Amino acid sequence: MSFSSEIKEILCKTQYECPGCRLSELAGFFACAGKNGSDEVRFSVSNKVLSLRICNALKSEFGIFPENDRRRLVIAGNDFKKLYTEISTDVVIYECCKIAYIRGAFLGGGSVNAPDKKYHIEFGVKSDEDAQRLLGVLEEFDFRPKITHRKEKTVVYIKESSQIAELLGYMSNGRAGLEFLSVQVEKELKSSAQRQVNCDSANLEKLAKASSKHIEAIKRIKAAHKWSTLPDVLREIGELRLKNPDLSLEALGKMTEQGIGKSGVNHRLNRIVEYAQNLRKD
């Protein structure tokens, strides 16, 4: 099941807050759902939970029982006229009804990407007039939707993750918003872990290159029979580096007799490298 389908199932379990909410939800649904003919509307019933909610709402509000045409429901004739006469009027009155209208629009033609991918929620609306109406309702709740056109539909969409989570929360009394946020948190944790892995890999590569440089310098000095001429502190850190090529500078410092810090180790190893470079010049 897709993330959008999961969200729609959650929305279908949301209770109506007032008698007007059911009609408002139907108005939003039919602004986005189905394909209108001259005297009928057909809409998909691939989501059985959604089909049951809409059919129950149609039965309760208008006494309409849609015809089942394979995987589509059909409302035709007088039922079609009755439906569109009622929902074409201004049924969105109270704040809860406005939220129900948005929820219905999403159930009818909405989709939302799972937040482990890119952030995007949209409503495929059947007309520019309905799109402007939905845009206005969304803006009343301080959302910042945009409009584009795709094929035969007008699309109202939002791409900000915080706004998407808030909108899903509005439509479902919090439940769908929590679902979105949980997936979003999981995504961010995975991204954080990957960044840490990348950082660790970069640090290991840096350590390996530095260690190789140190060891090469030490071996060059020894090959020139000059190792014994170096100060004791340099020979001490050099021998530790030879025996522990994978250890960090901090760890090497703790192994010295004086217990020096990272900067002290780095300074001594750089002196060894510089000495080896001078040998090459000579």
Count up the domains in the chain and report the number.
2
Angle between helices 95-109 and 48-62 (to 10 degrees): 130
Asked whether residue 86 is assigned to any structural domain, the reply reads yes
Q: Is residue 196 part of a domain?
A: no
User: What pLDDT is recorded for position 189?
Assistant: 47
Residue by residue, pLDDT tens for the chain (282 residues) are: 687 888 888 888 888 888 889 989 998 998 888 777 777 888 877 778 888 888 999 998 888 888 876 678 888 888 888 787 777 666 666 888 899 999 999 999 888 887 767 888 899 998 888 899 999 999 988 889 999 998 777 899 999 887 888 888 888 875 544 555 455 545 554 555 566 656 666 666 777 788 888 888 888 888 888 888 889 899 999 889 888 888 888 888 888 888 888 888 889 998 998 888 887 665
Answer yes or no: do 49 and 154 share one domain: yes
Residue 178 in domain = no
Q: Do 137 and 245 fall into the same domain?
A: no
Residue 92 corresponds to which tokens in the numbers above? Answer: 């969105």
pLDDT at 176: 47
Q: Does some domain include residue 231?
A: yes
Same-domain pairing of 166 and 217? no
Domain span at residue 45 reads 3-173
Buried b (16+ CB within 10 A) or exposed e, 260-278: beeebbbebbebbbebbee
Q: Does 160 share its domain with 230?
A: no
Beta-strand relationship, 72-76 and 67-69:
antiparallel
The answer on 208 and 169 residing in a single domain is no
Residue where a domain stops, chosen among 152, 173, 194: 173
In a domain, 115, yes or no: yes
133 & 217 share domain: no
Q: pTM of the full predicted structure?
A: 0.62
Query: What would the DSSP string read from start to end of the chain?
Result: --HHHHHHHHHHTPPPSSHHHHHHHHHHHHHHSSEE-SSEEEEE--SHHHHHHHHHHHHHHH----EEETTEEEEEHHHHHHHHHHHTS----SHHHHHHHHHHHHHHHEEE--TTS---EEEEESSHHHHHHHHHHHHHTT---EEEEETTEEEEEE--HHHHHHHHHHHHTTHHHHHHHHHHHHHHHHHHHHHHHHHHHHHHHHHHHHHHHHHHHHHHHHHTT-GGGS-HHHHHHHHHHHH-TTS-HHHHHHHSSS---HHHHHHHHHHHHHHHHHHHH-
Residues 167, 244, single domain; the answer is no
Does residue 126 sit in the same domain as residue 61?
yes
Q: Is residue 225 part of a domain?
A: yes
Is the CA virtual torsion 195, 200, 205, 206 positive or negative? positive
Indicate if 33 and 161 belong to the same structural domain. yes
In this prediction, residue 91 carries a pLDDT of 62
For position 186, what pLDDT does the model report? 55
Residue 19 falls inside a structural domain: yes
Confidence at residue 106, expressed as pLDDT on a 0 to 100 scale:
92
Q: What CATH number is given to the structural domain containing 145?
A: 3.10.28.10
Question: Are 167 and 239 in the same domain?
Answer: no
Q: Are residues 31 and 135 in the same domain?
A: yes
Give domain status of residue 179, yes or no. no
Instruction: Assess whether 141 and 217 both reside in one domain.
Output: no
